[in-house]
A and B are shown apart, each in its own frame.
Chain A
Amino acid sequence: MTVALGDNSLGFIIDRVDVGILVVSETLEVVLWNRFMEANSKVAAESIVGKNLLESFPDLPGKWLEKKVRSVQLLNNFAFTSWQQRPYLFHFKHHRPITGGVTHMYQNCTFIPFEGSTGESLVCITLFDVTDTAVSHREVQQAHADLEELSHRDPLTGVYNRRFMESELEKEFTRVVRYGGKLSVLFLDLDFFKKVNDTYGHQAGDQVLIEVTKRISDLVRTTDFLARYGGEEFAIILPETDTSGGMIFANRVREAIEKTPVYHDEHVIPVTASLGLSEYYEGIESYDALLDQSDKALYMAKKEGRNRVVCFLPER
């Protein structure tokens, strides 16, 4: 680098650039403290130059900082810190608007070893305010998480969709095969749903679905997994449950659906559902086979008159 400017100009630039610049000796004695550091720390250069950095800032991670400075001098190499692993070095206030949602300035730092004019070992530490980056990053992460959640959900009822449910079932299935335990799957299909749509209109049909979902949700445990499997069909994964436990749950659900009609505009719509239940037993090759069993049971429930629960009995 060819230096065309004199010392005064360089000093001015160092002071005014929008980056924290400080220089410390091997023993962490402060040799340079620029305006950014003064303004953000409220510590003037006159009161800190010549003093030990850690004495003026006891909250700094002292041991870590000493190690860092020493290693950079020993290996004669730059070092970096990132806000992602270490949110800040100096605890400064941020300059975002009050609605920022953050509590402090996020910083990226560089440690640069060099030799002073009398051959002494010095380290220049630069501090970049990356609060905006950190906040944007967080917002993007949140948006991604939201998007991911959305792709797993059924837009109308808000419960999980079929695709996500099958991937969850596959996980549960693998777990039970490997470690043992119980697992049941319950299918639920609303009776004469097409007729509801034809008689009362699609909006009424939607309302029925939403209402039924709510009633089932109120009864499922936190470990159970409720999903909308098809137009008027729901599936519920019941981990750690066998058919006797499953039957109790299924009948509760059936009753909750039948007991009260669904109200939409001025209509009173009676609703019932057919349910098919089956459980995992050793020998089932895949989660598909398990779904198939529950489906067969559901079919029987419809055939035997609807508004009932049928349990699949494996032919042994």
Chain B
Amino acid sequence: MSVALLIVDDSGFSRKAMLKSLPEAWDVDITQASNGEEALEALRNGLGEVVLLDLTMPVLDGFGVLEGIRDEGLTAKVVVVSADIQPKARLRVISLGALAFLQKPFNKESLAATLAECGVYSEN
């Protein structure tokens, strides 16, 4: 059964890069969102079991999405993928319920490692 994967990033390029870096064998149903509002809307419609979430976005940022998920009682496994690498950002997203923080720039290997680490997907 395919996993509903939601990719959230304001950069079209970044979303493309993410798509190209996904583990090939992963059976996913992909939805894309370009800001936090779109992301929450998609989540409300059940399109995000797993979320790959950018932090720096217009309209509503990644922190806002995590807060929205918490406040609305939505369920999602969130992996934050961001260039905002300050230690406090990492702590903050974890405390808001994210499972892991993947630093940008990422590649296939680091993405796969992070997904495995937090039990979202592993290749074996």
* Complex A–B touching at CB under 8 A: no
Which B residues are within 8 Å of any A CB, using their own CB?
Answer: none
Mark A residues whose CB is within 8 Å of B: none
